[in-house]
Structure 1
Amino acid sequence: MINGANDIIDPQLVPYRILRGGDKIPAIGMGTFGSDRYTAEQVAAAVKGAAEVGFRLFDCASVYGNESLIGDAFQEIMRSGVKREELFITSKVWNDMHGRGDVLLSCAKSLKDLKLDYIDLYFIHWPFPNFHPKGAPPDYRDPSARPYIHEEYMETWYQMERLVKAGYVRHIGTSNMTVSKLKLLLRDCTIMPAANEMELHPCFQQPELFQFCLDHGIQPIGFCPIGSPSRPDRDRTPDDVVDIEDPVVVRIAKAHGVHPAIICIKWAVQRGQIPIPFSIHRDKYVSNLRCTIEDPLTEEEMEELATVDKNCRLIKGQVFLWEGANDWRDLWDVINPTMNP
């Protein structure tokens, strides 16, 4: 395990991206979704430790159930001398808070829990109000669940725009979207999304959506950057592949003398997305950050990694399906035809 002063990375050395409007965002962040495997106390301690070693971007969400303790960690981080403007903090409105006025309430709770005056980037977590109650069996179907309805989504988005105008959030973004849904949003919004959070790893590269985001000034932020080996059991299916076992990834990792997970993160940063890996282990999150500033992949290695895409979505969202849906693909492909042009 790495310990001591040698595991500190100067945040100024970490690459960054420029969001719409000119604000900087670090090119790698720390995820905080660990509620199925780790306690809120463990996640908050990892956030504090990650900030100590140089992380400045933290990806949070109300549904993770740990924002209050993470907020305590942020207070400790700022008392240690890190200024608020040096941090870039995101959060998300959950599916059951899409109703009129609910987005403001959700944001207010996240601000209170995170103990912040503003959130840097606020996402709509999923593009519909479908949800899966805690403790419900995996095959439970919410009676009110339905395909994407653009008019409903825009009602939620306009509430997000109000948060920007009121100064509660600096930027707003989308998550778990598709090209067809983003096209509708860009047609009708008055404040453009600054980022789209999406599943991105070598075995699921989403080239069409990725390029669409770049072409429209939307920063891709990638969750599951190493293939999420510790993802919840409900998100596992027999045909899932394992990125860190892919022969190309393994071979390149051996050439660089690192774990295959590090190659996944290097690939993500060099490709242009912002990966948000999560770990409670200091040696791992130090390695995740350090790999962005040393020993880059070659152009040939990047080209090789482009060939390992297997279009293998790991977070399929099947728990959000509605009665009558065929399978999880409907969740991504179907737009309610009765309410959209």
Structure 2
Amino acid sequence: MTVDSIPLNTGAQLPLFGLGTWQVKDEAELTVALRAALDAGYRLIDTAHLYQNEHIIGKVLHEYISSGKLKREDIFVTSKLPFTAHAPEDVPKCVESQLKALQLEYIDLYLIHCPFPFKHQEGSFAPLMENGELAVTEIAHIDTWRALEKLYKEGKLKALGVSNFSCNQLQALYDAAEVKPANQQVECHIYWPQQELRALCKKLGVTVTAYAPLGSPGRKAARPDGVWPEGDPLLEPIVKQLAAKYHKTAAQILIRHLTQHGISTIPKSVSPDRIVENISTFDFKLSDEDMHTLNSIETRTRLFIADFAVKHPFFPHDDIDTSKVPKVGIRLH
């Protein structure tokens, strides 16, 4: 299956579809999933320092590149800076460790994982806890960005971006940056379409990547005792009706809806059959009427709330009304 792509402001092409790897730490399981994905035509692999699986991805990529199955330029790798490594002096150390784990000389797209910096433990990037809570630090986004810009100029990071930034945070960083953000990765699906943010990204020439495009049905496993917002786009009646109409699965309808909007989409799966099914979405198009129907679904539910950072000075209270949201399990994607 051939996957369409969209241009980044660097001139590189970002695949419109790829494999998300959050929550997958088992080496055997992830190895099988990655091989199935690469064999099926996936060329975008999304990971992060936080996921603790870059070393597994590195082994599989090395296997495919060294054997000649794929060239390095055939593969697009996205990774992310953890919230404990925002200090300018920590950025190059963290990136070097990630490059070593991934067995790569450069990362295609590198994102600030979230806009809330926290302190790390001595000798590692593990979060430092104080009085049972994450230890807050205030490091300006532009200071972290300047360190990333240096690595960009050195060729170690081919494009820079952010994840989970609010409109105001993205605009402020964009205005101050020398190397402009190329991508914003956020929760995006029919119940949380991010229309305002997408409009801003379009204005600024920033591409959008959607995590949890299917609603992340396995998200509660990240913290079983947590309270999570409810919502399952896969069970939306309209989606089911369209799946029957197009002879596709609900997941394929949701994926196609986003990619047809020009949004890069990275559903996670470890099932080889599901992995092949998910990429099989570029052989059909939703009609304009059906796109409008999906755009007009009235349910609006954010499935991931950054409650761990509510007390952080950088928390965008104007974007998230935490007064109406219970304490919930968090996916730091």
TM-score range, shorter chain: 0.7 to 0.9
Give the alignment's TM-score, normalised by structure 2.
Answer: 0.87
Whether 2:275 is the aligned partner of 1:285: answer yes
Given the superposition, is the C-alpha separation of residues 195 and 309 from structure 1 closer, same or farther in structure 2, using an over 3 Å criterion? farther
Looking at structure 2, the residues matched to 198 and 230 of structure 1 have their Cα atoms a distance apart, in angstroms, of: 17
Q: 1:26 aligns with which of 15, 27, 38?
A: 15
Aligned partner of 1:267 among 215, 240, 257: 257
Does the 8 Å CA contact 2:10/2:159 hold for their aligned counterparts? Answer: no
1:294 equivalent in structure 2:
283
- Say whether the 8 Å CA contact 1:200–1:225 is kept in structure 2: yes
**Contact (CA 8 Å) 2:162, 2:184: kept in 1 or not?**
yes
Q: CA deviation at 1:145?
A: 2.7
Where in structure 2 are the equivalents of 1:126-205 lying within 5 Å?
Answer: 126-130=114-118, 140-142=132-134, 144-145=135-136, 152-205=140-193
Query: 1:95-114 alignment to 2 at 5 Å?
Result: 95-114=83-102
Q: Which residue of 2 aligns with 1:94?
A: 82
Q: Which residue of 2 aligns with 1:123?
A: 111
Residue pair 2:62, 2:103 contacting (<8 A) in 1 also: yes
| Percent identity between the two aligned chains | 29
CA contact (8 A) 2:17 2:266 kept: yes
Any gaps of 5 or more consecutive residues in structure 1?
A: 1-8, 335-341
Alignment match of 2:200 (pick from 212, 218, 222): 212
Report the Cα offset of residue 330 of structure 1: 3.2
1:242 aligns with 2:196: no
Letter in 1 for 2:95: C
From 70, 74, 79, give the equivalent of 1:82: 70
In structure 2, distance between residues paired with 1:157 and 1:317: 22
Q: 2:244, 2:78 → 1: CA distance?
A: 34
The CA distance in 2 between the partners of 1:153 and 1:46, in whole Å, is 35
Residue deviations 1:222-248 (CA, integer Å, cap 9, x gap): 000100001144496464211011111
Q: Please provide the CA RMSD for this pair.
A: 2.6
| Matched letter for residue 82 of structure 1 | L
Task: Tell me how far 1:52 sits from its aligned partner.
Answer: 1.1
State the number of aligned residues. Answer: 313
Per-residue deviation, residues 147-172 of structure 1 (Å, max 9, x unmatched): xx6x6111101111011011111000
- Contact conserved, 2:32 with 2:272, CA < 8 A, in 1? no
**Residue ranges of structure 2 left out of the alignment (5+ in a row):** 322-333
Displacement after TM superposition at 1:311 (Å): 2.9
Q: Secondary structure at the match of 2:14?
A: strand
Matches within 5 A, 1:28-47: 28-35=17-24, 39-47=26-34
Q: CA deviation at 1:309?
A: 5.0
Higher mean alpha-carbon deviation, 293-302 vs 111-120, is at: 293-302
Q: 1:333 to 1:204 in 2, by over 3 A?
A: closer
Paired residue for 1:311, among 297, 300, 303? 300
**Residue type of the alignment partner of 2:211:** F
Equivalent in the alignment of 2:4:
15
Name the CA shift for 1:87/1:164 in 2 (closer, same or farther; >3 Å). Answer: same
Residues 26, 313 of structure 1: alpha-carbon distance in 2 compared, 3 angstrom cutoff: same
Q: Is the 8 A contact 2:148 2:160 kept in 1?
A: yes
Q: Which amino acid aligns with 1:270?
A: Q
2:145 & 2:116 partners in 1: Cα distance? Answer: 11
Looking at structure 2, the residues matched to 280 and 264 of structure 1 have their Cα atoms a distance apart, in angstroms, of 18
d(CA) in 1 for partners of 2:232, 2:261: 20
Structure having the higher helix fraction is 1
Q: Which amino acid aligns with 1:31?
A: G
Q: Residues 198 and 131 (structure 1 numbering): CA distance in 2 closer, same or farther, change over 3 Å? A: farther
State the 1:141 CA deviation: 2.6
